[in-house]
Amino acid sequence: MDIEEEFREFLVNVPRKAGQLKLDGTPRKMAELDPILQTRNHAIILDYYGFGADDQIMPTYEALGQNYGELTRERVRQLIERNYRDHLDGPLPIAKMVDAVITQRDFWLEPDLLQQLQTKSLIGNFPTLVGIIDYLRSQGLSEGYTVCHANLEKVTRNSYSKHEARVICNESKLRSLKKHLKAAYKVPGLVGLGKLSYVKGPKTTEDFKVLKDLIVLNEQTWSAVEGEDLWYIFENSDGNSLINAAEKVFSIVESIGVDHLTEMLSHSLRRRAANTEFPSESLIRTWIMQSRHFVVEDGLASFKGTPGELGDGEDILCNIMRGRGAIPTPEVTKSLVAEGLGSANIGKLIFNSPLLFIDKKGGRGNYLVTLASDLAFDQNSTNEKRYDRFKDRLSKIGNTDQASIGTRRREQSILADWIFGQKNKRRCAICQRKYSRNALVVAHKKKRSQCSDSERLDPHIVFPLCIFGCDYLYEHGFLTIVDGQVQSGNTGLSKTERSAVGALVGVRLKPRWATGRPEYFCNG
């Protein structure tokens, strides 16, 4: 018998209390039990503790009341009390055996504890222990234990479904783990990727093992093993030097080669002394490829976050170097001195700026530095490969002139993938404001009905337009594109309409969206 079977048997065999006494001292006759209501009451109790047939996890009194006939919260509580808790004289035998397994350790990963209990045939095929822990507490068992998410926040009925990884630990262990995890948050700050062995707090091998489990399971964490060491970063943390450096790089470029970005981020970390080891370029490259902050396609990385702001010295550096390609470091130094910068700042700007790629082939004193935005030539072949790949995908759809609904949907899906890739946000091609994917339309530069079959199969036939005016203005001819620049289209506009159009006239499309045959921008 397992814990659920024991519980069900207990509910069925709950003794009925005698009725109140009559005036003559004899007990009143007990009312007949309604078997339908009794079955409902048992189902409510089983659901509440996670044993129900509907696989409900941590349902509230309110939710159970709605599921079982508009019962009030108080009525559900009373039913659980009167049909279960009021009849307990102590812990049930199987429940005590489950408690004995749990209390063998002060910390469990939920899957490990589930497996242990299932191996001993104490529980069935349960997805979680959340309800069972509550059930044990109702019998005075496992009172010092709690179920937490990997970030050590206690699981609640509202938070349960938001995070998959869970742990079970006693209160004493939880307090020490919170201190260790807090210390672990601090390590990656200046060095970008933190090394587990540098965390201060854990004393034993077991302490480090538990902390490692928490870091790896945390949904906000990226981690990787190099040699025998775990390296990690909490990707939702503020003030991380790697993320800050990436924000600066992508303030001057939309995308950049992964190899270049790796080197630039790596040397940017060394602008400050650190008491811990810096991550290798190999680790940084792996992080870029796997991080939620980047989208990588064909060796080209783009940033999913918000670009950062440059400091005064960095603005000067960009103004000096933009468009000049690779420049010898002495020449850059001379230009920065002329701008009034001191030698200490100049050294950091040149050798530790995430904005510069350093070519060290000529030896120290003869380094060549290139601004990130001037590395764009590396993107040409990559962009061509991506274009060819999407054109090939479109060509496999077949004839689009007599397209079925299914074919049209596949075509639209591929074109949307061409524009957005893995990004959730893009800039409108015309107003150039950044919007979420839902606020942008995959718009045809030339009306689709007027496109030839070959034009429909060209990825360059579309560009992203926002639903806040640009799509409407372009589709109805109020705006047109000539030589990559936005111009006014239809005449006879009202004053308000002219104002809306005038605010966009003169905007120059980014090369990515201006590319394509000139006749594509014929939206009349």
Instruction: List pLDDT tens digits, range 313-326.
Output: 999 999 999 888 89
**pLDDT recorded at residue 389:** 84
- pLDDT per position as a tens digit, 174-232: 999 999 999 999 999 889 999 999 999 888 999 999 999 999 999 999 999 998 899 99
Answer positive or negative: Cα dihedral of 35, 41, 42, 43. Answer: positive
Average pLDDT over residues 389-398: 83
pLDDT given for residue 14 in this prediction: 83
The residue assigned the tokens 């981020």 is 265
Higher pLDDT among residues 463 and 496, named by residue: 463
Contact present, 479 and 470 (Cβ < 8 Å): yes
What pTM was estimated for this model as a whole?
0.69
Stretch 371-378: mean pLDDT: 73
Tokens for 23, please give them.
Answer: 């005036």
pLDDT value at 287 more than 80: yes
Angle at 96 between CA 94 and CA 98, to 5 degrees: 70
Q: What is the pLDDT of residue 26?
A: 75
Output the pLDDT for position 376. 53
pLDDT given for residue 378 in this prediction: 46
pLDDT at 350 over 50: yes
Of 28-32, 86-90, 490-494, which range is least confident? 28-32
Phi, psi torsion values for 2, nearest 5 degrees: -100, 180
Residue 163 burial by Cβ neighbours in a 10 Å radius (0-12, 13-18, 19+): middle
**CB of 372 within 8 A of CB of 355?**
yes
> When comparing pLDDT for 166 and 52, which is higher?
166
Q: Which residues of 308-347 are buried (b: 16+ CB within 10 A; e: fewer)?
A: bebeebbebbbebbeeeeebebeebbebbeeeebeeeebe
